[in-house]
Amino acid sequence: MGSFFSKFKIFGVVMLFVSGVIIYLFYNALQPKKILPVYTPAMVNSELVAAEIQHVRKYHTIADFALVNQNGDTITQEDYKDKIYIADFFFTTCPTICPIMTKNMASIQDKIGDDVLLLSHSVTPQIDSVAQLKKYALEKGVDDSKWNLVTGDKKQIYELARKSYLAVKTDGDGGPFDMIHTENFILVDKKKRIRGFYDGTKVEEVERLLEDLQVLKSSYKE
């Protein structure tokens, strides 16, 4: 009799475990999957967007570019083809938010695989020469295989910032292409579309970016 009840007890435990697994699977199946938005100029603070495209509500992508990185190599959209990447705007002599942003971008660098790249644009290209960018890269622990710090024509960088990445304010006091960069990190998908904006000075925002990055990566496996 004891043996019968012992077997019944084991059966009950097994059934309880199986039931728990089934309930867990059903619960996960019923949960809506997170889908990242596709950002367009009309969805973003108008201060960060060129006036002529503020009305655009769809089909917004990052424009082609040709800029020079910390190693003197020309970097184009081809270097980021079929890659997810994270972009931002900075300058090497910035004493305020840039050191924090760079530190946080470096932490992201250490947590991404080879299928994700980083791209930082100088908003003071007249100061940030290739040599200056290389010095900064070495100081900040930049991995050249994952992260390009780029400089180049100021008008091109300004237009990328205001018409593509939607991430920089304008300042007309010193010239037509003056820029006030923001703390934004921008998540870009394989189709060159913006999928998220994050405050690069805040650890919790960096964590949110990394979570969204996994969501985006998973979307390519489905």
* Count of CB atoms situated within 10 Å of the CB of 51: 10
Average pLDDT over residues 111-134: 95
Largest CA distance in the chain: 93
Write the secondary structure of 165-176 as one string of H (helix), E (strand) and C (coil): CCCEEECCCCCC
Block residue for tokens 């295989």: 145
Q: Which CATH superfamily is domain 41-219 in?
A: Glutaredoxin (3.40.30.10)
The answer on whether 55 is annotated among ligand-binding residues is no
Res. 25 pLDDT band, cuts 50 70 90:
very low
Dig out the tokens for 208 from the structure: 């949110």
Annotation-wise, does 94 bind a ligand?
yes
Question: What residues pair up with 197 in beta bridges, in sequence order?
Answer: 186
- Mean pLDDT of the region 27-48: 81
Q: Can you give the pLDDT at residue 179?
A: 81
Place of tokens 């009950």: 12
| 98 appears as a binding residue in the annotation | yes
Interval 56-60 mean pLDDT: 96
Q: Is the pLDDT of residue 14 over 80?
A: no
Q: Give the mean model confidence (pLDDT) for residues 31-35.
A: 71
| pLDDT level of residue 54 (50, 70, 90 thresholds) | very high
Enter the DSSP assignment of 44.
S
pLDDT, one tens digit per residue, over 71-100 is 999 999 999 999 999 999 999 999 999 999
Is 60 exceeded by the pLDDT of residue 172?
no
